Amino acid sequence: MPSYTITVATGSQWFAGTDDYIYLSLVGSAGCSEKHLLDKPFYNDFERGAVDSYDVTVDEELGDIQLIKIEKRKYWIHDDWYLKYVTLKTPYGDYIEFPCYRWITGEGEIILRDGRAKLARDDQIHILKQHRRKELETRQKQYRWMEWNPGFPLSIDAKYHKDLPRDIQFDSEKGVDFVLNYSKAMENLFINSFMHMFQSSWNDFADFEKIFVKISNTISERVMNHWQEDLMFGYQFLNGCNPVLIQRCTKLPEKLPVTTEMVECSLERQLTLEQEVEQGNIFIVDFELLDGIDANKTDPCTLQFLAAPICLLYKNLANKMVPIAIQLNQVPGDENPIFLPSDAKYDWLLAKIWVRSSDFHVHQTITHLLRTHLVSEVFGIAMYRQLPAVHPIFKLLVAHVRFTIAINTKAREQLICEYGLFDKANATGGGGHVQMVQRAMQDLTYASLCFPEAIKARGMDSTEDIPYYFYRDDGLLVWEAIKTFTADVVGIYYESDQVVVEDQELQDFVKDIYVYGMRGKKTSGFPKSIKTKEKLSEYLTVVIFTASAQHAAVNFGQYDWCSWIPNAPPTMRAPPPTAKGVVTIEQIVDTLPDRGRSCWHLGAVWALSQFQENELFLGMYPEEHFIEKPVREAMARFRKNLDAVVSVIAERNKNKKLPYYYLSPDRIPNSVAI
């Protein structure tokens, strides 16, 4: 009688093992086997991290094995089981791999196909077509779209983390409990004693050091020592937490009536301001998005304020960016003066602090939350709804949406919800952040997620002209490495553009993103369908780059750049100044966040800047969804290209007082998971 050797691998994460009864059935082209209990006498099967083998004898010839069915039945109490993969050795000595990498819960069962990636057109056998269809039908019931707030990209229909499908939950919910993590952060930073001191102002700038953790030679300490300098202020628009706003100014806006006379002491080329604009030396950051956004009113004891500044920057003879004019609101007028470096010291400093605070709000809510977290969640939900596990694009993307839906669900549960942690310390809490996302959806376009296009659209693409823009330089290297990899994978499975067009599952995936993620807005520029291999490769690069590199660039520097509170105030407790010559140091300190809000802010940026335990970085694919040699070779080339990028960045950073490392691939997690 034919005998098969079955090898079963259990996951190594916490609580992955099971004591339940596990049964296996084989489905072949010539027949199906009986249900076999996988059990060895006097042996604890399916322990966490174990690889167990069993001999299974069947009554008759089964032909080619097409599917295997795994069933879990209760032994004592229900425990979930994480099955990594099953390997089958046939009576003829052939090995067949069945990747799983999923949880089996309750009295559950799972039907697996072998690991070769297949498009729908490759499946001619009825049982395989049926398996494919049923998997998507089940997933579409589990992964439902929901509108969390009007105008937002749609998100997963789950109120709490525990309501999510088990496969996309965190291994341990405790690890992503924001309340717990922020409190733990405050303990680690020794700032618990201040965290409840709301309404209590600091005495002076030096007083902020009481909650500032000094770690020798870090960027954060350098920020503390140099934050008041114009060079440090300008540098952050290129290589800080939010390096996506600065753009070349091609025409001075009418709403900023700045003249050559006002700024001539800042200009170094003996040219008028208009000539400097023509020569491409003037840059602008406009926070128009914040105009009219409601400030946080959740604490009746503390008034909080927002501004919508316009900041003009100049590329000096050393090719460094320095601010030369700041107007704190959008409409010019006597009570909205243009602040200048030639003004009194504290006038100019407070104007810069207002810009830094505004930059913090746009960074947190738009650059970070909307344009990495929420967008990546859309990609993840659409993938689970429209691509079966056997589809090559599912196998390619699944590592890049790992835990994204879970972290966003947790954020909606604890962080950005009404009365959530975001309301505690941020001037855009209490609903302002929601208004911001609704507005920013107008600018969320496909082109703006294509890294090279986004850089070019802001006039920031010339390395000769703007030599110290490391975010751009490193981002382009990573983008190209990802694009080469996706093109390799697309080339393996799609022999022509026609195959792309005819892949209905792929087209449904793209359409889901357009209709539900982008809310069917034509102006978003998101494609409704994809017609060429080249466009598919670009689209997949957008998905992977957004989830990995873009998120890393705007997330993991938060403690570096925002922990010195005056450099990134999460709220301001007095309105912007309406006249010059009246600002004092005392006024600035009373405007900055109080002790309690400072501590909540510090806990937040510390917690958000930490990597996950067992983090998987770009190019690491420990879950072997792909089993074919050509794809594994493409992955090896990808890792080699990423290693080369790591070396280039490490060499550039040598002896730099302010190294830029957020886009070094060995520091880029595969997915948005924090």
- Is 551 annotated for ligand binding? yes
Please name the residue that has the structure tokens 């309690």.
596
- Is 373 annotated for ligand binding? yes
- Is 191 annotated for ligand binding? no
Q: Which residues 6+ apart lie within 8 Å of 49 measured at CB?
A: 10, 11, 12, 16, 17
Q: Is 215 exposed, middle or buried (0-12, 13-18, 19+ CB in 10 A)?
A: exposed
- Backbone torsions φ then ψ of 327, nearest 5 degrees: -115, 130
Neighbours of 613 (CB within 10 A): 8
Query: CA-to-CA distance for 489 and 538, rounded, in angstroms?
Result: 12
Say if residues 245 and 362 touch (Cβ distance below 8 Å).
yes
Neighbours of 584 (CB within 10 A): 11
Q: Kindly state the DSSP code that residue 49 receives in the 8-state scheme.
A: T
| 3-class secondary-structure state, position 573 | coil
Query: CA-to-CA distance for 398 and 384, rounded, in angstroms?
Result: 9
Q: Which residues 6+ apart lie within 8 Å of 134 measured at CB?
A: none
CA 42 to chain centre: 47
Say if residues 471 and 660 touch (Cβ distance below 8 Å).
yes
Q: Which residues 6+ apart lie within 8 Å of 362 measured at CB?
A: 242, 245, 287, 289, 290, 436
| 3-class secondary-structure state, position 378 | helix
- Is 520 annotated for ligand binding? no
Query: Which token pair is 432?
Result: 């302002």
- Is 80 annotated for ligand binding? yes
Neighbours of 192 (CB within 10 A): 13
Angle of the 504-512 helix axis to the 375-386 helix axis, nearest 10: 150
Q: How far is CA 433 from CA 362, 368, 418, 429, 620, in A?
A: 9, 12, 11, 6, 34
Query: CA-to-CA distance for 672 and 269, rounded, in angstroms?
Result: 44
- Is 17 annotated for ligand binding? yes
Numbers of helices and strands, H then E, in the chain: 23, 16
Query: CA-to-CA distance for 346 and 579, rounded, in angstroms?
Result: 12
Q: Which residues 6+ apart lie within 8 Å of 512 measured at CB?
A: 381, 382, 385, 386
Mark 424-448 as b/e (b = at least 16 C-beta within 10 Å).
bbbbbbbbbbbbbbebbbeebbbeb
Query: CA-to-CA distance for 309 and 113, rounded, in angstroms?
Result: 57
Closest to 555 measured CA to CA, from 399, 396, 420, 371: 371
| 3-class secondary-structure state, position 349 | helix
Closest to 553 measured CA to CA, from 427, 428, 368, 398: 368
- Backbone torsions φ then ψ of 109, nearest 5 degrees: -145, 160
Cα atoms in the Cβ-side hemisphere of radius 13 Å centred on 19: 5
- Is 39 annotated for ligand binding? yes
Range list of H helices, 246-387: 260-263, 273-278, 345-362, 375-386
Closest to 9 measured CA to CA, from 116, 87, 112, 72: 87
What type of residue sits at position 244? Answer: V
* Annotated binding-site positions: 17, 39, 79-80, 368, 373, 551, 674
* Annotated binding-site positions for Ca(2+): 17, 39, 79-80
* Annotated binding-site positions for Fe cation: 368, 373, 551, 674
